[in-house]
Homo-oligomer: A and B are copies of this chain.
Amino acid sequence: MTQPTRRSFIAKTSLLALGASTPAWAAVPAKPMLIHHVFFWLKNPSSKEDQAKLVEGVKTLSKIETIRQLHIGVPADTEKRPVVDNSYAVSELIFFDDLAGQNTYQDHAIHKKFIADYSHLWEKVIVYDAMNLQ
Contact = CB atoms under 8 A, between A and B. Distances in A.
A87 B25 CA distance: 29
Contacts of A134: 59, 62, 70-72
Contact of A24 (B24, B37, B39, B131): B24
Contacts of A102: 76, 78
- Chain A interface size band reads 35 or more
B76 A129 contact: yes
A15 B17 CA distance: 11
A41 to B, nearest CB: 11
Contact of A132 (B30, B72, B127, B131): B72
A78 B30 contact: no
A6 to B, nearest CB: 8
Across the A-B interface, the 6 shortest Cβ-Cβ residue pairs: A73-B130, A14-B14, A76-B129, A78-B129, A84-B127, A10-B24
7 contacts: A25-B25, A34-B78, A39-B128, A74-B133, A76-B131, A88-B128, A91-B128
